[in-house]
Amino acid sequence: MSTSATPSVLFVCVHNAGRSQMGAAFLTRLGRDHVQVRSAGSAPADSVNPAVVEAMREVGIDISAETPKVLTVEAVQSSDVVITMGCGDACPYFPGKRYLDWQLDDPAGQGVAAVRPIRDEIERRIRRLLAELGIEASA
């Protein structure tokens, strides 16, 4: 961890339109002001997957205004934890960072029914991550 009292987490997937957006949204909601959250993609899409937006809306999180962002070396360097979600070898590696590779189905091209179990698994993993970071998840 950095010397900062607030840990920083970066979520990375290829398009930054599904899994990484859900991860960032859950961590922002559940971690409140106790964690800095970023998300990015190695080849960002033009917009967030509409089925992902709808699935997150079902659990009270609105990500409709989010836009996919390009992965930068600076984003990785300034993060304590980097969570990859299918970005392959596109994520730069820096010693001293904690890297987690979350193998999750890709919601691209899927409907809301297929996105729900991915969403729910991401939320479970976010809750475990918060516990590992010593941060109590908000209700």
- Residues classed as catalytic: 13, 87, 91
d(CA 18, CA 112): 12
d(CA 129, CA 81): 10
Residue 11 CA from chain centroid, whole number:
4
